[in-house]
Amino acid sequence: GENVEQHPSTLSVQEGDSAVIKCTYSDSASNYFPWYKQELGKGPQLIIDIRSNVGEKKDQRIAVTLNKTAKHFSLHITETQPEDSAVYFCAASIATGGFKTIFGAGTRLFVKA
């Protein structure tokens, strides 16, 4: 089945610096790659997503890149702010008689003021 690996597990940056989180997936049939942010006591919230027919997508300070050949996708956050501190999950969706979303292990991001 699909497996999603995510690195690093913890990331600490200074406010204003950039943060990069990387994921790899195993099943070439995966074609939808969402990124979720989970704050303490809340459910995950989508921050950006990318489909397999697109190589890059940007939304203000957040960007995602996808390399289908290498089965890699990455999240880039620029000009980080303390409120960006949270757990970030990458995910890959695959159709197996219905769409399943498989999550990476998560990255705990700390932004120091």
Partner 1 sequence: DTEVTQTPKHLVMGMTNKKSLKCEQHMGHRAMYWYKQKAKKPPELMFVYSYEKLSINESVPSRFSPECPNSSLLNLHLHALQPEDSALYLCASSPTETLQNEQFFGPGTRLTVL
| Tokens at 94, concatenated | 């695959």
**Interface with partner 1, residue 89, by CB under 8 A:** yes
98 binds partner 1 (CB under 8 A): yes
Other C-beta atoms within 10 Å of 56: how many? 12
Nearer to partner 1, 36 or 77 (CB): 36
The two three-digit tokens of residue 19, written as one number: 């943060």
Q: Shortest distance, CB of residue 113 to partner 1, whole angstroms?
A: 24
One character per residue 26-55, x = contact with partner 1 (rule: CB under 8 A): -----xx-x-x----xxxxxx--x-x----
Three-state DSSP class for 32? strand
CB count in 10 Å sphere of residue 81: 12
**Residue 110 within binding range of partner 1, rule CB under 8 A:** no
